[in-house]
Amino acid sequence: MTGVLLIFLSLAVLLGLAVAFFGIFIAEFSVLIIGLIFTFLFFIPLASLLRHKYAATKKSKAVLLSPVLTSPAKVHSKTSQLVIGIVAFQFPNGERKNFRLPMDSFNSLIAGETGMLTYKEYNGELFFLHFRP
C-alpha cells in the first residue's frame, strides 16, 4: 500500500508543478484527475480483494485434499469464546491438540469423555470433523 501512496503523491506533485510552472489550468486535467481518483477508489481495492479470495480458495482446496486423520482421544478441557468453543483433546501418547469448534459441537462434548476423534491437519492448522464417544 505504501508504493501506491508514493505513486499517488508523485502524480499529485507533478500535476502541481505543471499547474504552477506552465500555467495549465486544473480544468484541462479534470478527466485525468477523475480517472486517477476512480482508479484508486475502485481498481486497487478490487485487485486486493480478488487476490485475497484466490488465496482463500487455494487454501480451501488444499484442506479438502489433505488426508482425514482418526485417532482415539480424550476430551481434556473446554473453553468458550462467544460463538466459538476451543476443545483440547489428549491423545494416547500424551500429546494435546486444540480445536476450534462451533458451539453446537462444543456443547455436545463432555470433559473427560473418550472416543474416536476425526480431523484434518494442514500447515499446522487443525480442522475438527467429528468426535464419536
Tens digit of pLDDT for each residue in 68-102?
999 999 999 999 887 889 999 999 999 999 999 99
| Model confidence, pTM | 0.59
* Residue 8 DSSP SS3: helix
> By CB neighbour count within 10 A (0-12 exposed, 13-18 middle, 19+ buried), where does 72 fall?
exposed
CATH for 69-132, options being 2.60.40.420, 2.40.50.100, 1.10.3720.10, 2.10.69.10:
2.40.50.100
Question: Can you say whether residue 30 is alpha, beta or left, with left for phi > 0 and alpha for psi between -120 and 50 degrees?
Answer: alpha
Please report, rounded to a whole number, the percentage of residues in the chain having pLDDT higher than 90. 41
61 confidence band (pLDDT: 50, 70, 90): confident
pLDDT at 28 over 70: no
